[in-house]
Chains A and B, each alone.
Chain A
Amino acid sequence: EADIYQTPRYLVIGTGKKITLECSQTMGHDKMYWYQQDPGMELHLIHYSYGVNSTEKGDLSSESTVSRIRTEHFPLTLESARPSHTSQYLCASRNRGAYTEAFFGQGTRLTVV
């Protein structure tokens, strides 16, 4: 089924650990996005990608990094997690073209202790 998947859904990890949040979509979309969202609050764009091998930083400065080696995969990595990284991370994708809908994953709720 065409969808966008994020794993894990929940992650509790200690300070200083390296983590990778996975995002995969099976819709063949070129454009992909990562947002940071505290529960019920605003979405901050932290990274986006036009397509394979193209990534850009978003509006909110983030210590995370992303890669786009394959169209369907857009992982986000934190080299050294800190409590300030505690948040929900949402991945989205959309097809090329005007006014195309962005599809969102379920999100990963990250807690750094």
Chain B
Amino acid sequence: AQRVTQPEKLLSVFKGAPVELKCNYSYSGSPELFWYVQYSRQRLQLLLRHISRESIKGFTADLNKGETSFHLKKPFAQEEDSAMYYCALRSNFGNEKLTFGTGTRLTIIP
């Protein structure tokens, strides 16, 4: 079974401080991992995917297969980063399920 765990429901960070949103997964294969973001009154949208290895809006995420983690990081938080963040996993073999974690509400304190 595939499962995504985000241990923090709420996270508050001061503007300019580093941000780290934790995500751990369990899956008995090679997963596809994503971070999705939901800003206030907007649709859920893709932030980044692990295969891209790129920085989006200053955020990066590295897949650590040994620790089965895919934490989201940003060195300097900005007020517009306040949103709900979801880590997601999809099997890359057969099963088309796209499973989300419980989400972390990030609040940036001015």
| Residues on A facing B (Cβ under 8 Å) | 31, 33, 35, 40-43, 45, 48, 50, 56, 58-59, 90, 92, 94, 98-99, 101-102, 104-107
Contact = CB atoms under 8 A, between A and B. Distances in A.
B46 A101 contact: yes
Nearest to A102: B98
Interface of B: 32, 34, 36, 43-46, 49, 51-52, 84, 86, 88, 92, 96-103, 105
A33 B88 CA distance: 13
A48 B84 CA distance: 23
Contacts of B96: 31, 48, 50, 56
B84 A40 contact: yes
Contacts of A43: 44, 86, 100, 103
A101 B43 CA distance: 14
A30 to B, nearest CB: 9
A26 to B, nearest CB: 16
Contacts of A102: 34, 36, 46, 88, 98
